[in-house]
Structure 1
Amino acid sequence: MGIVFTGASTSIDGYISGPGETGFDQLFRWHTTGDVELAAPTGVFSFKLTPGSAAYFGAQIEATGALVVGRKLYDLTNGWNGQHPLGVHTIVLTHRPLEDNEHFSFVSGGIEEAVAVAQKHAGDKAVGLNGGEIARQAIDAGLVDEIWLDLVPVLLGGGTPFFAPGKGFELEGPLSVIKSVSVTHLRYKVKYGAPKAQ
């Protein structure tokens, strides 16, 4: 069984989107700052990354076997028109489940059930969780092994935080640091049982 991780492109002040769902052009500018083309496994889009970002993001894509997302993201993307761009099975945690299909499972029993279903689909690969409330629920439940931050040098001043309010935890690391154009990629291990961060 692989690790469970959460990750996102986040502003220096900790937001994954700005007020009114804005700021994505700034948060994802690093997807277009290089010369190395990296296509999504489904081929629906591609990025132009620096060599460091391409190696980092390519390894993340290769390592990921399933995803857990919230219904808000699923609806915002229109269910990615039938399949997540990474081409992996995606579990949607929701109070309004739809019918499961070959690309999506809809779970309403809580974050523990969603991660367990994702792990079955992922096999030996990692399970990725989207940020916000999903990440917070999983961390509070002791389910997240690592946090992967794509830290972007911008202050959004408000919006949707990477982590919703919850318990405090210490992190171990960084396990890796990759400096690139318009982003620094960081990986940390979550330390459970450690004193709460103040």
Structure 2
Amino acid sequence: MGKVVSAASMSLDGFVAHENNDPGRLFDWYEAGDVEVRTASEPASFHLTPTSARYWREWVEQIGCLVVGRLLFDITDGWSGEHPLGVPFVVLTHEAPKDWAHAATRNAHFVTDGIEAAIALAQRIAGDRTVALAAGTVTGQALAAGLVDEVAIDLVPVVLGTGHRYFADIDPAAVRLGDPTTVIASARVTHLVFPVEK
């Protein structure tokens, strides 16, 4: 079984999006370089620095499944059934969508009985590869349940002031991180990975 890793771009004051769900300048680093990185959602691509591209590719190659919340699923319309990373995704929700236009896809799975069940399903799908968690409520619930192995943050030099927090709906005492195992500075971002102390 692979690791469970929370990952997202985050502002210096701890937010992953504005209140209206717009990431704003948090994604500027996706266009900060000249190295084209293609996604599974053709013809979509972005342009990273060589340093960020190397980090990104090593990270993405590990991922076997994603766990996201219903809000992100609704904002993206479930990526039309094909996540840009090209991997299956599990949606933690109170109720699965009834009339989703892309319901025939084999990539989307809906779990209504809690974070433990969502991560367990994602681990079965991922096998020995990494389960990646969306930041916010999903990460908060998973940390509180002791299910996260690492926290990865793409720290962006912006301040949002308000919005959706990386660590949402969690007692701060439940977030115990060790010294970073990865610190990579690049244009418009610093890539950080912290082990979770259990």
If the length of structure 2 is used for normalisation, what is the TM-score?
0.92
- CA displacement 1:94-133 (0-9 Å, x = unmatched): 1111467411110001000000000011011000000100
**Structure 2 counterpart SS, 1:171:** coil
Q: Does 1:184 align with 2:183?
A: no
Partner of residue 71, structure 1: 70
Post-superposition offset of 1:60? 1.1
Matched-pair identity in %: 46
Q: Which structure dedicates a bigger proportion of its chain to strand?
A: 1
1:29-70 CA distance string (max 9 Å, x none): 000010111111343421100111001111111000000001
Say which is worse superposed, 114-123 or 43-52, in terms of deviation: 43-52
The one of 147, 162, 165 aligned to 1:161: 165
Q: How does 1:98-113 map to 2 (within 5 A)?
A: 98=97, 101-113=105-117
Query: How many corresponding residue pairs?
Result: 191
TM-score norm. by structure 1 comes to 0.92
Which string of whole-angstrom CA distances, capped at 9 and with x for unpartnered residues, describes residues 126-155 of structure 1? 000001000000000000000000000011
Say whether 1:135 aligns with 2:139: yes
RMSD of aligned alpha carbons: 1.3
Cα deviation, 1:157-181, whole Å, max 9, x if unaligned, reads 0010011132323211210101000
Gaps of 5+ in 1: 193-198
Superposed, 1:1-198 pairs within 5 Å as 1-22=1-22, 24-98=23-97, 101-167=105-171, 168=173, 169-192=175-198
Moved over 2 A (4+): 19-22, 41-44, 98-101
